[in-house]
């Protein structure tokens, strides 16, 4: 077994719940991270290109707000594509600290960043960023911490968990720190639905890969052929509900436990909440942040927001 005992216990508890569920953090082994990168290049997936366009259009203003000698701490850094826009424009950055749970991709991405930006100290941290983790000590003491959280990943969390994560970010930002965050917005349901049900089936493969990863890391025996990807947008709750749908009655073994799954039963793998600007501002305020600046595209599909600590 490659996964930890705590992770195994978390998975088993989720599978025993009335609404079976597995945390979206288990998407991201090496293959899952690559599949997600593939998703970001799909024509239906508007989020990445729209956010990148916003960053490129407003990076000078963003850099001025960040200021010199800051430590840029990226939660869920992945391949750090959008981060390069910042690194090319931030003045005398003290350090870049990418944080991710997928160690192999994180270290490879950090290596590439070091090669591209040899003047920046790169200090990768392997961690579950939804929980408190230790920050490394840069050679140059930063004047302030800027937490960077692109990609609207906040929307993958339920309300209380999103508030808790914003609380972690508030602590990491520290005094005089700030949060630069990507936030997907509520819009035409057809646009949203297409982004999670792409015609090439990459999102379905990404969703099913979670079970493959659990089989590999926790000695489970999920039959991937017995599940189907299911994603539906609920406009009343402003969220996409993403599940794995069982196509037959079946039994799964994991960690000495036997889990029965009925035909038609769903394992919830992810929510993707879409926010209004007012809704995000209210959530930020509850966690000790204040929205200082918002940038959007012309169609208001997506937003990049700069939050300061109260």
- The answer to whether residues 215 and 204 touch, using CB atoms and an 8 Å cutoff, is no
Digit-coded pLDDT (tens) for 233-266: 999 999 999 999 999 999 999 999 999 999 999 9
Torsion, CA 108, CA 112, CA 115, CA 120, rounded to 10: -90
Whether pLDDT at 53 is above 80: yes
Instruction: Output phi, psi for 127, to 5 deg.
Output: -165, 155
Whether pLDDT at 79 is above 70: no
Digit-coded pLDDT (tens) for 154-212: 998 889 999 999 999 999 999 999 999 999 999 999 999 999 999 999 999 999 999 99
Name the residue among 175, 184, 162, 185 with its Cα closest to residue 308.
175
Q: Using CA atoms, how far apart are residues 31 and 25, in angstroms rounded to an integer? A: 13
Whether pLDDT at 78 is above 70: no
The more confident residue out of 188 and 28 is 188
CA angle 88, 91, 94 (to 5 degrees): 100
Burial letters 207-235, b for 16+ CB under 10 A, else e: bbbbbbbbbebbebebeeebbebbbebee
Share of the chain above pLDDT 90, in %: 84
| 199 CB-contact burial (10 Å; exposed 0-12 / middle 13-18 / buried 19+) | exposed
- pLDDT category, 95, cuts 50, 70, 90? very high
Q: Where are the alpha helices (DSSP H) in 67-183?
A: 83-87, 103-116, 159-173
- The answer to whether residues 27 and 209 touch, using CB atoms and an 8 Å cutoff, is yes
Domain ranges of the chain: 5-42+203-273, 46-127+134-187+277-309
* CATH entry, 46-127+134-187+277-309, from 3.40.50.920, 3.90.380.10, 3.40.50.150, 3.20.20.140: 3.40.50.150
Q: Quote the pLDDT of residue 207.
A: 98
Q: Using CA atoms, how far apart are residues 191 and 198, in angstroms rounded to an integer? A: 11
H or E segment and range at residue 255:
none
| 163 CB-contact burial (10 Å; exposed 0-12 / middle 13-18 / buried 19+) | middle
- Name the pTM for this structure: 0.89
């Amino acid at each position: 077994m490659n996964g930890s005992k705590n992770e195994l216990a978390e998975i088993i508890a989720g599978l025993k719940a009335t609404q079976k569920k597995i945390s979206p953090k288990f998407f991201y082994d090496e293959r899952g991270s690559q599949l997600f990168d593939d998703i970001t290049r799909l024509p239906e997936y508007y989020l990445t290109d729209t956010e990148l366009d916003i960053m490129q259009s407003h990076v000078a203003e963003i850099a001025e707000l960040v200021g010199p000698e800051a430590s840029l701490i990226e939660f869920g850094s992945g391949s750090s594509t959008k981060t390069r826009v910042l690194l090319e424009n931030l003045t005398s950055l003290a350090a870049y600290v990418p944080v991710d749970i997928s160690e192999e991709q994180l270290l490879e991405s950090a290596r590439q960043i070091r090669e591209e930006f040899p003047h920046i100290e790169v200090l990768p941290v392997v961690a579950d960023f939804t929980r408190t983790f230790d920050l490394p000590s840069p050679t140059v003491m930063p004047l302030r911490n800027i937490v960077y959280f692109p990609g609207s990943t906040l929307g993958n969390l339920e309300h209380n968990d999103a508030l808790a994560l914003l609380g972690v970010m508030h602590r990491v930002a520290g005094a005089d720190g700030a949060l630069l965050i990507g936030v997907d917005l509520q819009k035409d349901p057809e646009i949203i639905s297409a982004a999670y049900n792409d015609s090439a089936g990459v999102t379905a493969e990404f969703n099913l890969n979670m079970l493959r990863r659990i089989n590999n890391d926790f000695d489970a025996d999920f039959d991937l052929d017995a599940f189907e990807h299911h994603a539906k947008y609920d406009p009343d709750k402003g969220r996409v509900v993403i599940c794995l749908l069982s196509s037959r009655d079946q039994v799964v073994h994991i960690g000495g436990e036997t889990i029965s799954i009925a035909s038609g039963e769903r394992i919830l793998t992810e929510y993707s909440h879409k926010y209004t600007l007012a809704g995000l501002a209210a959530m930020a305020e509850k966690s000790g942040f204040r929205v200082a600046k918002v940038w959007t595209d012309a169609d208001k599909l997506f937003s990049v927001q700069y939050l300061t600590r109260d």
